[in-house]
Amino acid sequence: MAELRDIPDLMRGSVCERRVKCGGPGCWCAKKGSAGHPGFHLTVNVDGRTRTRYLSGPALKEVQGLVSSYRRLWKLVEALTRVHLDMFQARRKEKE
Ligand SMILES: [Zn+2]
């Protein structure tokens, strides 16, 4: 419960690795058969639209932190839902 009183900065979404070609004609990634530069992207659906953002080094760490805060909070919400559902059920049985 204490965790809920102090909600951390969070963000829903998922971070995935995706290889991208930078577009530079002289770059090694332009060579045939190259998969491109390793890069991380954030994918999140907001208002029915999927947004994708490229994540640079410092942004990657920040976003990974935000996303994991979201997952932790969501687990807590699920746990509380189970607790309250059970309590509701128990009270009904007492009345019967
Ligand atoms: Zn390149």
What pLDDT shows up at residue 1? 60
With a threshold of 0.85, does the pTM exceed it? Answer: no
CA of 82 to the centre of ligand 1 (A): 50
Residues with beta carbon < 5 A to ion ligand 1? Answer: 22, 27, 29
Instruction: Evaluate whether 67 touches 14 at the Cβ level (below 8 Å).
Output: yes
pLDDT value at 4 more than 70: no
CA of 42 to the centre of ligand 1 (A): 20
Helix then strand count (H, E) for the chain reads 2, 3
Q: What is the mean pLDDT of the chain?
A: 91
Quote the domain boundaries for residue 71: 2-95
Instruction: Evaluate whether 67 touches 40 at the Cβ level (below 8 Å).
Output: no
Tens of pLDDT along 24-39? 999 999 999 999 988 9
What pLDDT shows up at residue 46? 95
pLDDT value at 60 more than 70: yes
φ, ψ dihedrals at 77, nearest 5°: -60, -45
What pLDDT shows up at residue 74? 95
Number of domains forming the structure of the chain? 1
